[in-house]
Structure 1
Amino acid sequence: MGNRTLYLHVGQGKTGTSFIQATLAHAAQALDEAGIHYPDLRPAHRRARQDRRHWGTNGGNGVEFARADVDDVVPEGTGRILVSWEGFYRALAVDAGVEMRPDVRLGAARFQAITDRLRRFCARNDVGRVEIILFLRNPVGQRVARYLQSVKGQGATRDIEAAFAEAPDLSEELALLTRPIDLPDPHLHVFNYDVHKADLMAPIAGVLGVGREIFAGDAGRQVNRSLSSAEVEMALAWNESLGQTAAPLTVALCDEVPATGQARLAPSRAAQEGLMARLAGQVEQVNACLPEGERLWADYVEPPGDGEEVTVTRAYLRGLGRVVGQFNARQGVELQAFRTQNALLQLRCALLEKQAGQAGPLLEAARSEMRALAAMPGGEDKAADLAPHLERLAGAMGR
């Protein structure tokens, strides 16, 4: 059996995961000094192109397991490793035999591959014990949060009443709580998000065996806040017009525009009670596996009234104007990148068909499109990615 301990924070989603990951990234050096290694697992080429903030707030360090084997070997003398990614939650549930719901975009084979990579990582790094940190959430709040995420990141246009009528069951939660977990000497620590949401890092510090003060200080910028009920109406309108391409706009709203204190979104009381009635048996089974202080309960929320008045600050309007402007600018960059790619494709076709007379003007057209792309704010990286293709084509022409 290995000598190292892996602490695995697995979510689930919508339990403050983005905040937790930003805090862990901010505290990486302090954790390392305490003997807990929170490694940056990105390949070298992506570390060079993404700043540390991106690593800390976009899936945690464990998101690399979704892409390929993680070949990193933890330095000698490091006895404890910490990895965080909410995708492990569903991967472990699939590994325990849960069938995938039809609304999950990744198939079961993809999640099974993630768990296989995790086992190989454990073997490669001499891990003999895995401490799994899992946050669950009360059913009503969890369903509201999942609905908000579908509006924010998936282009959803249905209302929240319909979302509650189709709410999933608790089979994934029950699988992790009741079935064997195929990792080295696994130990599961389960916390109710609604019990700890005022201080999510305290139970994590307890599992890690460090003082809460290790996570003191600013964890970085605001990340992934919830939409208010009024903002949902605005986001639904964006989705109806733009579909899933509106996602970057809504995500930017939640990352960069300050919250306004508007009412929390909730469906009718009847929809909430209907959800709890459907889940009653499974909630009882889940609670039988939890300590008394971490058990789930019916977290009913008063829905906002139809005549809700919305008051926003000047800072909010400035922030909203900024993210809309940046979204429009990004769309312009994408359009110009497409025009540049199209010019390169026309040039390549002319060379393949040995149409020398057309190749010269097409080369100049491609260079012109490339210059226009490079001159746009945010277009420099895309131009740099396309530049080698232009150089190869020009080289083939001796120009």
Structure 2
Amino acid sequence: MGKMRHLLLHVGHGKTGSSYLQSSLALSQEGLDEIGLCYPFHRSFDAARRGFVTSGNREILWSAIETSDPEALFGPHDTALISGEQLHRELLPRKDAFFAFVNNAQITKVSLLLFIRDPVEDACSGYQQAVKRGGYTGTIEDFFSQYERPKTVSDFLEAFTDKPATATTVRNYSRSSDVLGDLETFLGNVALTMPPIDRINRRLTPAELAIQSSFNKHLGPSGNLVADKLCTELPDVCAEVTAPSEDVQRAMLDRNRDVIMAVNRRIDADQHYSFDTIEPASDESLSLTLEQIQVIAKSLAPKIRMR
């Protein structure tokens, strides 16, 4: 009899604690190996172990598929884990190649873990991420008018739910009080190591967001100069959610209503998307603490050449 291989994929999506989970997985790599679960090494693991923003080890999956090399995933074990918050998007156009690899590699079970997030909350967080790491310069109203993540989620569930030997677990980040516990359960009640900090890739304060957006306008994508440093060096700064008017939120929800309902029909009731809105902040004044100013100055100083 051939091998009975089990492939576990944490497929995203973004802004659902992925960097936190990947920090835990990198710290737990040796322990997972000891129980027969291969979490293949990726060059980002050192940064992940220190609590920095990372993207997991999904490149190992695509390399294994391109080279028809399942050993790159499994090593000496019969169970392997890959984590990447963009996998739910990347798998869609490559699903035929993926399932061909699964068949050829004697993978007898595929388990998928997808974290989703309530649309308004996700759009607010997505706007932050677009400014921080994508060089976005538009307004939050512009971002909401283009938001369509539930469509990608719906397409993914339609493509991968009820496939032979494939099981999909969906957890709503907005409902979860313990995303690490959700991952541990998905892995078979495996105990994972806690990351060194409680929050990785925190949201920016309104003032930090305004500064980063301004740098994007003048320098192009430049999150490494300001946003990354603020989030890494001041991880405990608390920031209110930046949200547009309720009218803008409702317009986005109405535009996505059909796909939101399509997703809800496919997942457990306690994980459903909600149509809740977020009250915009009443105080629009911008301010920075001395610590924030010092981090920004320290980051920019080496880049400034006195003439």
Counterparts of 1:379-394 in structure 2, within 5 Å, are none
Distance 2:53 2:141 in 1: 31
Relative to the length of structure 1, the TM-score reads 0.66
2:93 matched residue in structure 1 = 94
1:127-164 CA-to-partner distances (Å, cap 9, x unmatched) read 21110000111111111122112211222111101211
| Mapped pair 1:209 → 2:209 | no
Shift of 1:73: 5.4
Q: Tell whether 2:295 aligns with 1:316.
A: no
- Residue in 2 aligned with 1:23? 24
Quote the offset at 1:283 in angstroms: 1.4
Does structure 2 conserve the Cα–Cα contact (< 8 Å) formed by 1:63 and 1:87?
Answer: no
**Distance in 2 separating the partners of 1:15 and 1:174:** 17
**8 Å CA contact 1:26, 1:219 repeated in 2:** no
Q: How many residues align?
A: 298
Question: SS at 1:286's partner residue?
Answer: helix
- In the superposition, relative to structure 1, how do residues 286 and 141 fare at CA in structure 2: closer, same or farther (>3 Å)? same
Q: Deviations over 1:355-379 (max 9, x none)?
A: xxxxxxxxxxxxxxxxxxxxxxxxx
Consecutive unaligned residues of structure 1, counting only runs of 5 or more, are 97-114, 333-399
Q: What amino acid does structure 1 have at the position aligned with 2:300?
A: V
Shift of residue 226 of structure 1? 1.8
Alpha-carbon deviation of 1:122? 4.0
Q: 1:311 to 1:317 in 2, by over 3 A?
A: closer
Q: Which moved further from structure 2: 229-238 or 28-37? A: 28-37
Q: 1:159 to 1:136 in 2, by over 3 A?
A: same
Point out the structure with the larger helix share: 1
Pair member with larger Rg = 1
Say whether the 8 Å CA contact 1:22–1:220 is kept in structure 2: no
> 1:227-264, CA deviations, whole angstroms, 9 ceiling, x for partnerless residues?
222211111111122112x2321333323333432322
RMSD: 3.0
Task: Return the TM-score normalized by structure 2.
Answer: 0.85
Asked whether the equivalents of residues 222 and 256 of structure 1 are also in contact (C-alpha less than 8 Å), the reply is no
Deviates most, 282-291 or 55-64: 55-64
CA deviation after TM superposition for structure 1 residue 219, in Å: 4.2
Q: Partners in 2 of 1:286 and 1:220 — Cα distance?
A: 33
- The corresponding residue for 1:293 is 270
* Larger RCO (CA under 8 A, 6+ residues apart): 2
Q: SS at the partner of 1:93?
A: coil
How has the CA–CA distance of structure 1 residues 27 and 57 changed in structure 2, closer, same or farther, with 3 Å as cutoff? farther
Structure 2: gaps (5+ residues): none
Q: What is the percentage of aligned positions where both structures have the same residue?
A: 27
Task: Decide whether the 8 Å contact of 2:92 with 2:159 is kept in 1.
Answer: no
Partner of 2:205: 228
Q: Cα gap change, 1:299/1:228 in structure 2, threshold over 3 Å: closer, same or farther?
A: farther
Rate the CA distance shift 1:24–1:227 in 2: closer, same or farther, 3 A. Answer: same
Q: Taking structure 1 as reference, are residues 181 and 297 closer, same or farther at Cα in structure 2, changes over 3 Å only?
A: closer
Q: Secondary structure at the match of 1:258?
A: coil
Looking at structure 1, the residues matched to 198 and 47 of structure 2 have their Cα atoms a distance apart, in angstroms, of: 9
The residue matched to 1:151 in structure 2 has which SS?
A: helix
Q: CA deviation at 1:268?
A: 0.8
Paired residue type of 1:217: M
Q: Which residue of 2 aligns with 1:5?
A: 6
CA contact (8 A) 1:260 1:316 kept: no
1:53 and 2:47 are equivalent in the alignment: yes
Q: CA deviation at 1:216?
A: 3.9
Call closer, same or farther: CA 1:241–1:292 in 2, change over 3 Å. Answer: same
Aligned pair 1:153/2:133, yes or no? yes
